[in-house]
Amino acid sequence: MLNASCLHRPELTAALASGDRKLDNLTVPYPRTFAAGTTIVQQGAEHDYVYRLRTGWVGRVRALPDGRTQYLMVFLPGDLFAIKSVFVAAHPDAVVALSDVTVERLAQHRLRDAFDTDPEIALRCTWQIVEEERRLHNWVVSLGQGSAEERIAHLLLEFSVRIGAATGTGRALEYGIPLTQDQLGNVLGLTSVHVNRVLRRLREDGLVSIRNRVVSIHDAPALERMAEPLRDATLQARARPETAAG
Amino acid sequence: MLNASCLHRPELTAALASGDRKLDNLTVPYPRTFAAGTTIVQQGAEHDYVYRLRTGWVGRVRALPDGRTQYLMVFLPGDLFAIKSVFVAAHPDAVVALSDVTVERLAQHRLRDAFDTDPEIALRCTWQIVEEERRLHNWVVSLGQGSAEERIAHLLLEFSVRIGAATGTGRALEYGIPLTQDQLGNVLGLTSVHVNRVLRRLREDGLVSIRNRVVSIHDAPALERMAEPLRDATLQARARPETAAG
DNA sequence: CGCCTTCTTGATGCGGTTCAAGTAAAGTGG
DNA sequence: CCACTTTACTTGAACCGCATCAAGAAGGCG
């Protein structure tokens, strides 16, 4: 499991997997379930658990005082979330179940002890945060520079890759998505109306369609071409390495 | 030093400060300087150092293949940067000196060893990443939901707070800023033309002005009112705590 | 002085929002 | 099983915030 893109230094792979396995011993005995729409962690509240997502989709979302809302992260199975509980007292944003989900809970203080005594667990936790940072960087680029088309293409492809990686099969050309167009808008920084219009265009052009909460990628190369400018530069750089400067 | 907003769990304060002090023993003997505009870490390159910023401003920036660019982080004195070197092989974005800077270097592998053997150092490193994540969350909200006015007001206030915290004095109502309007645009996801126009309005309305690379906040309350919707919700929540839900 | 970067301002246009209305599908309670 | 409601999707028309294009002014710096 662990992570999709495996951008970590190769010498860490074993330690990471080992750290992940060790989390099993720290989880509260029985997994817990939340129905779609449930708030798992309240915005602004203190919280004493960290979670490992087993099934379903979870989102971190911030509500602005005037009613606007923005999603900050979408978690898929295998992700650790609310890991900030270990370090900060209050969560500045809510964590909600986007679909029905099952999670394993880890008591914050126990994980914190393990963090101190077991470097592999510390590594696993830090890795999760580093990975989230990577996603956030891409998110900022997407929101700051991407057009609506580019953002949507990029997001649907990212889910495709992450789901594919989590399930072991390669990229998923068809996958369930629990997000409504309204939620997609709040992920992408767009209105649901515009999301709808762009999706229509993509559907009519035969690139991708969403029907009955299922994404079907019909023309992956074209979709990738569309999302290309927003693609994580790490991969591009690998294709044509450059010399480092002082 | 360490961080501004002190949102960490109180029981960690001592360990964090201690971890920060321990970094002193890991730094390469002589601090290094970079001239404004220099690239410190190349986009897409591997890199074996982590840095602690002593003086000046540093930015992490991503260049898209078609020429667009987006800043992903602005580092101020006290920040650790390129800390990802410890965990990932290649940096997906460049790190550049926004002004003349002096930095302390830490060899990646030495820090990694220390990370394993000393929980306080692990905590200090993880804390830096958690803090960056906090900033990125706010950044995403800003780009996703904020108007140009809100984003600019929010950014200038954030710098004010962070500089104030780093220098020990409270919020800085006047501070030097090395960013050009063009760079501000690439931080804010706006064109320099629009940044210019909004800054003009803010100046004419007596809220804030930038002249000769110096920001002067003339009407802090009004500026805060303008940035209010984007303000980190943690503080808001503290004012009126809510009950937690299951 | 002449060049270059940054700042400034105007004119014009487009991408995305806003407002509004209508359709479709899935509950829900009687 | 059928009115009634609710939630999601869809589409149109009008508007506006910000981008784009263009050109000039104001400052460093060789």
Answer yes or no: is A246 within a domain. Answer: no
User: Which CATH number goes with the domain that contains A135?
Assistant: 2.60.120.10
Beta strands in B8-154 (DSSP E): 32-34, 39-41, 49-55, 58-63, 69-75, 80-81, 94-97, 101-107
pLDDT digits (tens, 9 = 90+) for A17-66: 899 999 999 999 999 999 999 999 998 888 899 999 999 999 999 999 99
Q: Residue written as tokens 């997997």?
A: A17
Number of domains in chain B: 2
Please state the pTM of the whole predicted model: 0.90
Over residues B218-237, mean pLDDT:
84
CA atoms within 13 A on the CB side of A163: 19
Q: How far is B58 from chain A (nearest CA, A)?
A: 15
- Candidates A148, A134, A56, A124; CA nearest to A95 is A56
- B55: three-class secondary structure by DSSP: strand
pLDDT digits (tens, 9 = 90+) for A151-186: 999 999 999 999 998 777 788 999 999 999 999 999
Check residue A8 and give its pLDDT: 62
User: Which CATH number goes with the domain that contains A155?
Assistant: 1.10.10.10
Check residue A4 and give its pLDDT: 35
Q: How far is B133 from chain A (nearest CA, A)?
A: 6
Which of A140, A174, A197 is where one domain is finished?
A: A140
What average pLDDT does the structure give for chain B? 88
Answer yes or no: is B1 within a domain. Answer: no
* A232 shares a domain with A153: yes
Q: Which domain holds residue A102?
A: 10-140
Over residues A214-241, mean pLDDT:
78
* B19 shares a domain with B88: yes
Tokens of B175: 């501070």
* A121 shares a domain with A74: yes
Answer yes or no: is B29 within a domain. Answer: yes
* A154 shares a domain with A118: no
Shortest CA–C1' contact from B204: which nucleotide? Answer: C8
Query: d(Cα A158, Cα A226) in Å, to the nearest integer?
Result: 13
A109 touches strand D (CB under 7 A): no
Q: Which nucleotides of D are covered by protein (CB under 7 A)?
A: 7-13, 17-22, 28
Tokens of B74: 């602005």
B 215-234 residues with CB < 8 A to A:
228-230, 232-234
Strand D-proximal residues of B, range 146-165, CB below 7 A, are 147-149
- Candidates A189, A197, A195; CA nearest to A177 is A195
Q: 10 Å Cβ neighbour count for B157? A: 21
Answer yes or no: is B246 within a domain. Answer: no
* B133 shares a domain with B164: no
Query: d(Cα A73, Cα A46) in Å, to the nearest integer?
Result: 19
Query: φ, ψ for residue B41 (rounded to 5)?
Result: -125, 130
Does the beta carbon of B81 lie under 8 angstroms from any beta carbon of chain A? Answer: no
